[in-house]
């Protein structure tokens, strides 16, 4: 549907401009041919970009699927929005631990978890391996990590908006 709209806009804009300028049918035909050639190049580039984005999404995880897995497995302790739950799980939206690790390191952490008596534990809470869901495979863990990254970006945007001068003006 979007492709048809783009094609229509390109042809309408190019050929419409040629006809508006008083060009004859020969010029309009040349315009259409030029527009079609340009569109073929643009479509090939879009196809390559789309393929690269799919590959990137597959390599690092799908945040949409990760959100679903997060809510099924992690939300009981970390809250549906990753905000943390008292005496159960930390706030993941602003977690320096998550922000400071690569995706691969986070997947490794999720696979092994952390015991309350671990020297690196800041909360003294159990983080069970795979969030207590042994059926989560590595791909699903990568999806959860992609969702955690998205969640942290959203939290950063929200914080920036709250600290913006426009926000301060509204509260005064």
Residues found in the chain? 172
Read off the pLDDT of each residue in 24-49 and give the average, rounded to a whole number.
53
Range scoring the smallest mean pLDDT among 58-62, 87-91, 148-152, 155-159: 58-62
pLDDT of 63 above 70: yes
Q: Is 94's pLDDT higher than 70?
A: yes
> Which pTM does this prediction carry?
0.63
Superfamily (CATH H level) for 63-163: Cytochrome c-like domain (1.10.760.10)
> Domain residue spans in the chain?
2-60, 63-163
CA-to-CA distance for 100 and 96, rounded, in angstroms? 6
DSSP state of 131: G
pLDDT band at 5 (very low <50, low <70, confident <90, very high): very low
Nearest to 78 by CA among 137, 119, 131: 131
- CA-nearest of 29, 30, 33, 35 to 13 is 35
Helices (H), the chain: 2-20, 25-60, 63-73, 75-78, 96-99, 103-112, 138-162, 165-171
pLDDT for 3 beyond 70: no
The b/e string for 59-71 (b: 16+ C-beta within 10 A; e otherwise) is ebbbbebbbebbb
| pLDDT one-digit tens code per residue, 133-142 | 999 999 999 9
- Could you tell me the maximum CA-CA distance found in the chain, to the nearest angstrom? 82
Q: Which of 25-29, 56-60, 93-97, 168-172 has the highest mean pLDDT?
A: 93-97
Averaged over 80-93, what is the pLDDT? 95
Q: Could you tell me the two tokens for 26?
A: 């020969």
Residues 6+ apart with CB under 8 A from 123: 90
Average pLDDT, the chain: 77
DSSP type of residue 163: T
């Amino acid at each position: 549907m979007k492709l048809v709209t783009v094609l229509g806009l390109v042809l309408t804009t190019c050929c419409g401009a040629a006809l508006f300028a008083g060009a004859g049918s020969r010029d309009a035909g040349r315009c259409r041919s030029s527009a079609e050639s340009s569109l073929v190049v643009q479509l090939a580039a879009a196809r390559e970009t789309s393929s690269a984005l799919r590959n990137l999404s597959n390599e690092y995880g799908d945040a949409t699927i990760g959100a679903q897995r997060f809510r099924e497995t992690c939300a009981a302790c970390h809250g549906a929005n990753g905000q943390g739950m008292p005496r159960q799980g930390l706030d993941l939206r602003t977690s320096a631990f998550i922000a400071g690790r690569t995706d691969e390191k986070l997947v490794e952490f999720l696979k092994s978890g952390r015991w309350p008596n671990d020297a690196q534990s800041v909360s003294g809470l159990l983080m069970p391996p795979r969030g207590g869901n042994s059926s989560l495979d590595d791909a699903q863990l990568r999806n959860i990590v992609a969702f955690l990254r998205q969640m942290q970006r959203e939290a950063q945007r929200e914080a920036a908006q709250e600290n913006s001068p426009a926000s301060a003006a509204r509260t005064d």
